[in-house]
A and B are shown apart, each in its own frame.
Chain A
Amino acid sequence: MRKVHKGLLVIISGVITMFLAAGGAWAQSATPSTTAGGAGQPITFVEGTINDMRTVNPWKAIESPEYEVLALNFDTLENFNKDDLTAAPGFATSWTQSEDGLTWTFQIRDGATWQDGQPFTAEDVAFSFNKTLDCSLGNSLDYLVPKFTKSIEATSPTELVWTTSVPTLAPVRPPWVYIAPEHLWGNSSCDEIKKAPFFEDGKPMIGSGPFQLTEWKKGESWTMDANPNYWGGAPHIDKFTVVKYDNSEALVNALKNGEIDYAYIGSVDLFQQLQAAGPESGITTHVGPAISFDQMSFNMCDPTAADAAPYCAKTGSTGNPALRDPVVRTAISWAIDRQTLVSKILAGLGSIGTTVIPPFASAYHWEPTGDQVIGFDIAKANDMLEQAGYTDTDNNGIRNDPKTGKDLDFRLILRSESDVGTQVGDYVTGWLKQIGIKTEPEVLTDGKLVSAWYDNDYDLYIWGWFPDPDPDFMLSTFTSHQCGVWSDTCYANPAYDKMYTQQQTTDNVQERAPIVQQMQQTLYTDIPEIVLYYDKYLEAYNSRDWQGLEDNQSPTPDGYLWAQYTPYSALTLAPRGTETSSSSSSSVLLIVGILGAIIVIVGIVMIARRGKSDEDLA
């Protein structure tokens, strides 16, 4: 009996030895992001994300990780100014507008090269822009104002001329169109360009930016190598890797453990935990700009309306017709307590939503004042509905549509991918109940929501936007021709469409801003959707080992530390110079681990031999 125990003890100590060896090896290597790293280890900055990247085709990007990679791998014609995101010299070092406002002439940087060494010229810009126009490519088509652009041509390797039929600011918004190499894609058809993956295993993606995509393990991680020949200066790191996690908890865990160096934190609770731990923990948190917003959209598609958008008329809609009554939408807007959402959902890390052009776009944002403001007033909302004839005729606590007699019972779709979607839905449901409106919350994946949206098979849904720096794209999503494309709601208003064209055809901010503000006011009054809040961008990074992020936020103040429109901090990010242990110690620990395994085997043999002698005595 005693010898069996001895054998067990031997086994246990062997297992512990192996465990300690493995753990010790991990603990040694867990120090994040090698700096000098010894033995020629590349200096790698690791970001964690819960959003996956599905394409790196510059004309097909939708998700934020895709834009992040493209911003590092490619350039745009002009940079986004670091402070206010207006046009700044980049590839185009300067530009002039003709007297009549119809011609913009750009001087293109001389001496810049693609990552394969080929010279970058104005021809590449002309190719990229014309391909976008000719093939109606991508989500940035409107930046090139196809209705008004007459030609875009390279008059020399360092000069680009953009001619329009009306004066427009479009060439200097700046256009968010990535410049692709003409020498690689010049002979591709529209179909080929649309299908091109742009990256294949073993073939790094050729761009002109400070980093180059060199590895992509789909659904898992992607790695970019620094471009030492970048015209803007070589990065101070060798590699940038992004790792995909399933949820915010795993992401924050990895950040705390030093497995990643930076993350955007979608969960306010987790962000506050990191904040509470303070920079002494080695992780610095940062509250970035309130550029994004969440909104509740109404199904505005009325296929029978005379001015119905063509897609709406063709596809039809299952939306409750009561939602097309502006009184109902206005009453709903008065019933939503946006301040509570900011306090409870965002823990104060945000601000009340008003229009679809957030306040950071200070030149264009319109803020309602005085009587224009729609606040929170349940009594007023109830009163509006009563006076409009929406009374509870069947005494079931739910108001009835006077035209159809049906209950005001709306389907409310919430996103499963949102950290806060269901919480917001609960609040909204409660408030609407107080004004006699019933909602049926339904949680769907983004894929299912997109399907419902395309089919106009919804009443209400809650989603969000990261608007572009320039207001044009966000405003365009409310034009009638965007129904079935980018429109949240199939809102169709000819007067609004006209204003959209007008703001596109002004060539100075002083003329454009009032039109843009008028458009926002129209949307605020018509309420095709309710902007619930602007949520701040919550970031955290390993400040123990890295520097150079906080000095280069963009826009200013309180801009993004990383993943910027023009990647300024990608060129200033640098390690703090802490050394990590080389990998040779892991070999020592391997030997220790093997010894542990041998001890375990010895223990097993001891028990077996003891068992044998016991049985022999039996």
Chain B
Amino acid sequence: MGTQRYLLSKVGQLLLTLLFVLTIAFFMFRVWMPGDPVKTFVRSTGSHYSKEQQDAIRHEWGLDRPLFPDQYVDFMLGSLTFHFGFSTVLQPGVPVSSLFWEKMGKSAILITTSTIASIVIGVYLGIKGGWKRRGALDNSSMASSMVLYAMPEFVLGMILLLLFSNVVHFFPSGGYESYAVHYTGVDRYIDIGRHMALPWLTLTLAYLGEFYLVMRSSLLDVLGEEYISLARAKGVREKFVLRRHAVPNALLPTITLVALSFGFILGGVLTVELVFSYPGVGKLSVDALTARDMPMLQATFIISVIAVLVANLIADLLYAYLDPRVRRA
């Protein structure tokens, strides 16, 4: 199968999966969910709305139309264009997308930078550890990775919070930026960076361990392969044995792990944002769940699914790039 066909097939699979998941979401949040979202909204406002006023809101939200096909099509198109309706409890009447994207921006910086850092550091240490097995670096990395891998993210976060915020006051205990001092320009970015430091460190350390362990294990497996022995027998220098033969093959399981881990990373962000009161999409999800704000929950659910599917697609494409056998299959 050529590259183009491979790419098209993967994108097609993504779209089919997305269609299926959105259909399930429609049933979950519209058809099966008990309660009337208009009544929930009215109750949240504490105001009195007449029946006519409630009907007008129902009409504005498209809830008076037939479930199939009208509401279903609206739901699918709205989800694909990121229009998720109005918040019913958290911020009654406010468009969900405006609340969501504001928080998403803050989480995206955190997730992206910490994931990249944990992959880069974890893979690097895994390569070094696997190549110089039982060396000082390998032993120390192995021990710390096991601890980090076993420890829940929120526990790690609370330890870091205790050490670096409560005991030594190096970093703030939470939030996105300082409120007592109004920084501008570069100082503001530094302030935001300081607030992000501990959540970032928590997420980086939390997932670094598993990337290290998988990379190390995978490299050790590859180093036992016959083609490595052949390369050495042919006189290939060790650095090229590592870089051109061992690492590319050992990376494949790690890439799979990255894609699979993305869903867990999103879950980890949720708990970490709660520990540090970081106003991102994870915290928004918990608030929406606690408040039973269905449109908001729906948005977080759908965006999370899309993010995981896209991460898997990227992993598949990387896999094909690294392993030509996949493209030709």
Contact = CB atoms under 8 A, between A and B. Distances in A.
Interface residues of B, number: 63
B171 A26 contact: yes
B40 interface: yes
A590 B186 contact: yes
A33 B180 contact: yes
B94 interface: yes
Nearest to B176: A220
B233 interface: no
Interface stretch (A41-49, A116-124, A228-236): A41-49
B244 interface: no
B47 to A, nearest CB: 5
Contact of A23 (B35, B49, B171): B171
Interface stretch (B23-31, B212-220, B249-257, B277-285): B277-285
B226 to A, nearest CB: 20
A282 B161 CA distance: 21
Contacts of A618: 237-238
Given A23-B168, A60-B47, A447-B89, A218 B99 contact: yes
B18 to A, nearest CB: 28
Chain A interface mostly helix, strand, loop or mixed?
A: mixed
Contacts of B172: 26, 30, 254, 257, 259
A512 interface: no
Given A194-B47, A587-B187, A218 B91 contact: yes
A254 B40 CA distance: 33
Contacts, number: 166
B92 A220 contact: no
Interface stretch (A80-88, A156-164, A245-253, A557-565): A245-253
Contact of B194 (A8, A26, A612): A26
A573 interface: no
Given A41-B181, A451-B35, A586-B187, A243 B173 contact: no
Contacts of B174: 245, 250, 253-254, 259
B238 A615 contact: yes
B279 A219 contact: yes
Interface-central residue, B174, B179, B291, by most chain A CB under 10 Å: B179
Contacts of B197: 22
Interface in A191-216: 191, 194-195, 197
Nearest to B174: A250
A485 B46 CA distance: 9
Contacts of A260: 179-180
B223 interface: no
B258 interface: no
B165 A257 contact: yes
B173 A29 contact: no
Interface in B307-329: none
B263 interface: no
Contacts of B92: 54-55
A44 B180 contact: yes
A615 to B, nearest CB: 4
B48 A259 contact: no
Interface string A31-72: 011100100011010100000101100011010000000000
Contacts of A55: 45, 92
A46 B48 CA distance: 34
Contact of B164 (A23, A253, A448, A586): A23
Contact of B237 (A22, A23, A616): A616
B173 A259 contact: yes
A139 interface: yes
A195 B165 contact: no
Contact of B274 (A30, A246, A454): A246
Contacts of A392: none
Contacts of B166: 253, 256-257
Interface-central residue, B91, B183, B277, by most chain A CB under 10 Å: B277
Given A191-B53, A246-B274, A217 B279 contact: yes
Interface-central residue, A22, A246, A257, A618, by most chain B CB under 10 Å: A246
Given A60-B46, A219-B284, A416-B290, A30 B176 contact: no
A137 B39 CA distance: 18
Nearest to B289: A445
B74 interface: no
Given A5-B136, A54-B44, A219-B99, 8 more contacts: A25-B194, A27-B169, A218-B99, A223-B179, A257-B165, A259-B172, A259-B179, A447-B40
A-B pairs with lowest CB-CB distance, top 8:
A23-B170, A220-B279, A615-B239, A62-B46, A615-B238, A241-B179, A33-B180, A253-B173
